Amino acid sequence: QKEVEQNSGPLSVPEGAIASLNCTYSDRGSQSFFWYRQYSGKSPELIMSIYSNGDKEDGRFTAQLNKASQYVSLLIRDSQPSDSATYLCAVNRILTGGGNKLTFGTGTQLKVEL
């Protein structure tokens, strides 16, 4: 079982629709969770972080966390063509000295169609 699993997609949604991206993780000790957006050929860009069960909203983005089910999701409302990218789910483990080791999924490719 992979530590962080995502559906690779592509997930295609029409412009203006809600895109729903899902992620499951295996380490119950994980404490913080992140969504990164990565455009082709570019580096990952942090878009959402979530630390406790429930929903966290930031603009058009909502992250949802359910630790009992080991499940994280990202909703993108009013999807725009500029949202077309690969979305990476990452879970955090605290390292020696307090550093952070992020384990990433393989990413879900999102395509927003006109």
Residues forming the site for another protein (CB under 8 A): 4, 8, 31-32, 34, 36, 42-46, 49, 51, 88, 90, 92, 94-107
CB 77 → another protein: shortest distance, Å? 23
Q: Which residue do the tokens 């119950």 mark?
A: 28
Residue 18 vs 42, nearer CB to another protein? 42
CA distance 83 to 80: 5
CB 38 → another protein: shortest distance, Å? 9
CB 113 → another protein: shortest distance, Å? 22
Residue 29 vs 97, nearer CB to another protein? 97
Q: Which residue do the tokens 């029409």 mark?
A: 14
Nearest to 10 by CA among 21, 1, 18: 21
Cβ atoms of residues 61 and 49 within 8 Å: no
